[in-house]
Amino acid sequence: MRTNHTLDPAIRVEGIEKSFRDLQVLRGVDFDVSAGSIFALLGSNGAGKTTLVRILSTLLAADAGTAAVSGFDVGTQPADVRRSISLTGQFTAVDDVLTGRENLVLIAKLRHRKNPGAVADEMLARFALTDSGTRRAGTYSGGMRRRLDIAMSLIGEPGVIFLDEPTAGLDPQARNEVWHAVRELAAAGTTVLLTTQYLDEAEQLADRIGILHQGVIIRNGTLSELQQLLPPAKTEYVTKQASLEDVFLALVGDTGRTPTAEERESR
C-alpha cells in the first residue's frame, strides 16, 4: 500500500446522521480519507454504507453533521462536489446494446471531452478491454462489465471515486480483475472510497478500514492497527489446505486480464 499522501484529506466526514422515518441509519459518522489512498468502509448489509455514499455524492441530504469532498462542502457546494467525483453503484451503468467503445465515447461526449474516440481508446487500453472494445457490452463477463463501468466513471479525471460494493456477485477471477483496476486507480493518484461486506476485499485493497456498525464507525485504522486489537497470535504448526478459490484460480488461470480473441480461439 502507498503511504505518501497529502496532509489535507480528500474526504472529511464529521457527525453525519441520517434517518428514514423512525429508522436511524447513521448515528454520527466521523472519518477522514487521505488524498490518493484507498479507504474501505466495511459493514454488513443494512449497516448504512450505501446511504453514506449517497450523502457524500450529493444524492441524499444528511439530517445532521458536515462532510467535504475535494475541499467542497457536500451540503452547500453540491455542484462543485459533483464535478470532482465519480460514483460507481452496485449495479453497472453499462448500456448492453452499445459496444464497450461506444459506451465510453457516449460518456466522453456527455462530459464534453475533446476527441471522444481517443478518450475511449485510452480507457479501453487502461482497463485491458481493447480486444473487446468492438463487442456489445451485453456479451461481456461480470468482471469486464465492472471494469468498463469504472472506466466510464473515470472519464473527466475525477479526483475522488466512490465504489459501492464493486465486486458484489462476481466470481473470484472477476473480483481479482476489479481489485487490480482499483489498485491502479490509487497508484495514479485517485482517491478511492469503496464499500464492501467482504473482509478479504478490505484486507487486500485498503490503506485504511472503517468498520461501520449500527450507524457509527466503531473502529478506523490500518489493517495492522486493527489486528493489534486482538490478543497476540499463537504459533501453531498446521497443514493448510488449499481453499476452493485457490483451486479455481489455479485451474482457470489468474491473469488479471481478459484473454484476446486469438487466445480464446486456441483453447
pLDDT of residue 264: 45
Phi (first) and psi of residue 21, to 5 degrees: 60, -115
pLDDT of residue 89: 83
Cα–Cα distances (Å) from 186 to 118, 193, 196, in that order, read 23, 10, 17
Q: DSSP character for 221?
A: E
pLDDT of residue 1: 39
Q: Note the maximum CA span of the chain.
A: 60
Measured between its terminal Cα atoms, the distance across the chain in Å is 36
SS3 160: strand
User: pLDDT tens, 123-181?
Assistant: 999 888 999 999 999 999 988 998 999 899 889 889 999 999 988 888 888 888 889 88
pLDDT of residue 35: 95
DSSP string, 38-66: EEEEE--TTSSHHHHHHHHTTSS--SEEE
- Which CATH number is 9-266 given? 3.40.50.300
Calpha distance 162→160 (Å, rounded): 7
Angle between helices 142-154 and 172-187 (to 10 degrees): 20
pLDDT of residue 248: 62
pLDDT of residue 117: 96
Calpha distance 42→253 (Å, rounded): 29
pLDDT of residue 262: 45
Under 8 Å between Cβ of 38 and 207: yes
Handedness of CA 210, 212, 218, 223 (dihedral sign): negative
Residue 159 CB burial class (10 angstroms; 0-12, 13-18, ≥19): middle
Under 8 Å between Cβ of 41 and 16: no
Q: Give the start-to-end residue ranges of the domains of the chain.
A: 9-266
Residue 108 CB burial class (10 angstroms; 0-12, 13-18, ≥19): buried
Below-70 pLDDT ranges, the chain: 1-7, 233, 243-245, 247-249, 251-267
